[in-house]
Amino acid sequence: MTSPPPSPAEESAMRRAVELAATALGRTSPNPVVGCVILGADGTPVGEGFHRGAGQPHAEVEALAVAGDRARGGTAVVTLEPCAHQGRTGPCAEALLRAGIARVVYAVPDPDPTAAGGARRLRDAGVEVTGGVLRAEAERGNELWLTAVRRGRPCVTWKFGGTLDGRAAAPDGTSRWITGPESRQDAHALRAAHDAVLVGSGTLRTDDPHLGLRHGVAGAPALRVVLDRDGTIAPHARVLDDAAPTLVVTGPHTPKPALHDRHEVLRVPVTGGALDIAVLLDDLWARGVRSVLLEGGARLAASFVAQGLLDRVVAYVAPLVLGAAARPVLGDFGAHTLMAGLRLRLGEATRLGDDVRLLLRTRELPGGEAPGAGAGDRAEGRTAGGGVG
């Protein structure tokens, strides 16, 4: 039996559900961000909710609690297919059935095999179900988690601020400030949306970054991850304060740095003289990290590109040129022909003050994998790098 297309009221409710989901970005991993709106039998909104974090009620349960008896005979509009498994909380599909929901409209099928199947369970119980409603909008809102689950590793976003000619610093090493204040504030909001922020040893030595949230951006601090192959991190490094936990990644035989109890050392293999970033991503996945923001520097970004481990790029491009003597934003990753280069898909272009913010992806959204390299594969013609450190 074919379900009817969404009504204008249901599409409006889905847009609201996408907004609700976005309010929890950076706080729900290893779970997705999800929003839900309940429409009463007459089509008017009677409840809404969103998932606030692992172990907390799912969006559907929150919205049903607000709606109460008004949900009976109504419609649940949700950004992700209701789950069908028992985790820290019960299956949302069963909660919807108990509430007497007559119709479910969802945007994105759940790609997690342990949670999928809610739509089938609801249909089997006689509930009218329509999927794929405003899927593109919901995909973008939940992109980090969806990408991670589809690829079995954290979604990796490379963020950089650079000049029009692709330079990250002047020949004398100065880089503050290439981009304007609007870009810097937006970059901190981007940081707040990710579970972890990663820098290499070069950035650690040159910039002594803190990797916290500033510029009035609220949110939970991300896990700070620093690559330190040789164990040279200074005890007084800003990234080792008590503002957030820090994971210091070293080689298997590197002397263990002295750290406060809140911080941790992770040892990973050294491949080709550099830390194995694929092993690092596996470890972060096991910790529940579903998104990583790569913030520096040129060698680190090149290593992720070379191994096919980059998913998105957020570039803040300033109206400035520095010339060939300045430092590039990206190092060599083995692309010596046009065919071997990494061709990105433009998602968004936004003006921020005098700068332009570009969001680019290595694969298309919405949906699963686009044609091309699979998860963790090297693009054809590109050489594999070991890592960086």
pLDDT higher than 80, residue 20:
yes
Looking at residues 65-85, what average pLDDT do you find?
Answer: 94
CA distances from 263 to 105, 174, 195, 229, 266 (A): 44, 30, 16, 17, 10
| CATH number assigned to the domain comprising residue 12 | 3.40.140.10
Give per-residue pLDDT as tens, 343-355.
Answer: 899 999 999 999 9
Q: Say whether both 203 and 325 belong to one domain.
A: yes
202 domain residue, yes or no: yes
pLDDT at 382: 30
382 domain residue, yes or no: no
93 domain residue, yes or no: yes
pLDDT at 78: 98
* Cα distance between residue 312 and residue 289, in whole Å: 16
Q: Say whether both 181 and 64 belong to one domain.
A: no
pLDDT at 205: 77
**Structural domain of residue 29, as residue ranges?**
8-141
Tell how strand 45-50 and strand 312-318 pair up: unpaired
Q: Say whether both 130 and 30 belong to one domain.
A: yes
Residues of the chain with pLDDT > 90, as a percent, come to 56
Q: Say whether both 88 and 231 belong to one domain.
A: no
Give me the amino acid identity at 287.
R
| CATH number assigned to the domain comprising residue 184 | 3.40.430.10
Q: How many domains does the chain have?
A: 2
What pTM value is reported for the model? 0.86
Instruction: Give yes or no for a contact between 283 and 248, defined as CB atoms under 8 angstroms apart.
Output: no
- How many Cα atoms occupy the beta-carbon half-sphere of 34 within 13 Å? 31
pLDDT at 89: 65
pLDDT at 286: 95
Q: Which of 95-99, 230-234, 256-260, 329-333 is predicted most confidently?
A: 95-99
CA distances from 230 to 234, 267, 283, 348 (A): 12, 11, 20, 39
Give per-residue pLDDT as tens, 275-296.
Answer: 999 999 999 999 999 999 998 7
Q: What angle do CA 328, 360, 81 make, to 5 degrees?
A: 145
Give per-residue pLDDT as tens, 205-253.
Answer: 777 777 777 766 666 788 999 998 887 887 888 888 888 889 999 998 8
pLDDT higher than 90, residue 36:
yes
Q: Say whether both 253 and 150 belong to one domain.
A: yes
pLDDT at 137: 94
pLDDT at 202: 78
* Cα distance between residue 98 and residue 336, in whole Å: 60
* Cα distance between residue 116 and residue 79, in whole Å: 14
Catalytic residue numbers read 60
pLDDT at 377: 33
Q: Say whether both 204 and 351 belong to one domain.
A: yes
Phi-psi region of 69 (alpha: psi -120 to 50; beta: other; left: phi over 0): alpha
Q: Say whether both 127 and 176 belong to one domain.
A: no
Q: Say whether both 190 and 273 belong to one domain.
A: yes
CA distances from 211 to 222, 244, 293, 300 (A): 8, 9, 11, 16
Q: Say whether both 206 and 309 belong to one domain.
A: yes
